[in-house]
Amino acid sequence: MQSIRVVELNTLPLTKSKERLLDGLRSKYLFCANETLSVLKQNYPLTQKELHNLTYNRLRNETKLFSQLVQTCRREVWSRRKKIKNGFVRISPKFENRGFKVFFTNRGTFCIRFSIFENRKVVIPIKKDGVYQRFDNFLKDGWDFKTIIIIENQVKVVLKKDFPESVNKNTIVSVDIGSVNLAAITVYDSAKKKVLRQLYFGRDVAVRQRKYVIRRAKLQSANNRKYLRRLKSKQSNFVKTRSEQVAWDIVRITKQFNAMISIENIRNLRSHNKGRKFNGLVCRIPYAKFFSALNNICIRESIKIIKVSPRHTSQECPVCHMIDKKNRKNSIFRCINCGRTLNSDRNASLNIALRAVKIAFQPNLSDQISESGVTVNSLGCPNEVLVGCL
């Protein structure tokens, strides 16, 4: 498995001539992206090769960009063609391994030489601060980089490293992502058919997010754009930091029980039918940042992640498998069929664990009678075992 990390290196102050060259590079790269997008929408090429034949020679002659930049721009436009409708407003130049070279000066300054135009290169010196030390530690640990992105006063370096694949374990740590608790987890032993532990992580995230929403509403009413930008940055940093911390907490529990992780595969949570309040709660769930942090850590620690369907995880009874909206009332799950009562987040995380059991250990077991005569439900877990495991 390959893990990817991005490090943003700070640059030393540049000369005016270098700044002019970089400004020209950004404008030419933006022109190249918009022209490629325009050709794509007018001619509807079926493959990237067709788009390359339609744009490469003309854009090379008009922009005089380094050949790899034109090809990288075309690949990026192709990958984002369904999302961009009215053209690019901003796009950062991306250099592959053939378009840059790293070296140290006689004074020990770390520099990167970029090939930007035909027979024209620019050298950007990197500031040796804490971020550079972190980058240097990554290189010493065996990380490699073949892609660099230039932004205003920083250089983004995309680091990659291969890690050994994990082996299936008997124990599963299931994670339920919610608007009240960022992560409700259940440690489930598939061999003993038993719940070993249930925990909550990240309860403070929803509280803090709510405070940010209230503060943003006040600043918007005052039309204070400066402090709105600061608040947005502060909120983003907080969510990213807490997501990393919660992800590490879950990984520690996983390593303690020698387990693997199962998580909901959440997509398109927002709904036009459930109202503004529901969508507001959903928007404050940092699923993408949390899953990205958890996935990167699990790859480095050789922990397997299983994605399961989130459909009806909070409405299904783990005992009788009755699915009904009336089963859940706020934070309490009470089955209207068998009367099973427990916390709704714990119920959802348990259902996620049982679905992961079916995927990981019993892929061909579904709604059948086992050799011992025990009825097996659609999740791949004996019904009579579930009654006593909670």
> Which pLDDT score, from 0 to 100, does residue 161 have?
87
| Alpha carbon distance 146, 156 (integer Å) | 11
Q: Provide mean pLDDT across the span 67-89.
A: 89
Q: Where are the domains of the chain?
A: 2-162, 171-389
Helix axes 16-43, 67-79, angle to 10 degrees: 50
Q: Residue 181: CB partners within 8 Å, gap ≥ 6?
A: 200, 201, 202, 203, 206, 345
| Alpha carbon distance 148, 140 (integer Å) | 18
Check: CB of residue 237 under 8 Å from CB of residue 217. Answer: no
* 377 against 47, higher pLDDT: 47
Nearest-5° Cα angle at 140, 138 to 141: 65
Name the CATH superfamily housing domain 171-389: Ribonuclease H-like superfamily/Ribonuclease H (3.30.420.10)
DSSP annotation of 182 reads S
Q: Provide mean pLDDT across the span 49-75.
A: 92
Per-residue pLDDT band at 150 (split at 50, 70, 90): very high
- The percent of residues in the chain predicted with pLDDT above 90, rounded, is 35
* DSSP-derived pairing of the beta strands 341-343 and 332-334: antiparallel
pLDDT digits (tens, 9 = 90+) for 197-240: 888 998 888 888 888 888 888 887 777 778 888 888 888 888 88
| Alpha carbon distance 373, 205 (integer Å) | 46
> Which pLDDT score, from 0 to 100, does residue 30 have?
93
| pTM beyond 0.75 | no
Closest CA to 356 of 110, 228, 174, 168: 174
Question: Which amino acid, 229?
Answer: R
Bridge partners of 147, per DSSP, are 96, 158
- The length of the chain, given as a count of residues: 390
| Alpha carbon distance 334, 166 (integer Å) | 37
Query: Residue 367: is its pLDDT beyond 60?
Result: no
- Per residue, the 3-state secondary structure of 197-263, as one string, reads EEEEECHHHHHHHHHHHHHHHHHHHCCCHHHHHHHHHHHHHHHHHHHHHHHHHHHHHHHHCCCEEEE
| Alpha carbon distance 267, 73 (integer Å) | 28
* 161: three-class secondary structure by DSSP: strand
Question: Which amino acid, 232?
Answer: K
* 278 against 195, higher pLDDT: 195
> Which pLDDT score, from 0 to 100, does residue 278 have?
56
Mean pLDDT value across the chain: 83
Q: Provide mean pLDDT across the span 33-45.
A: 90
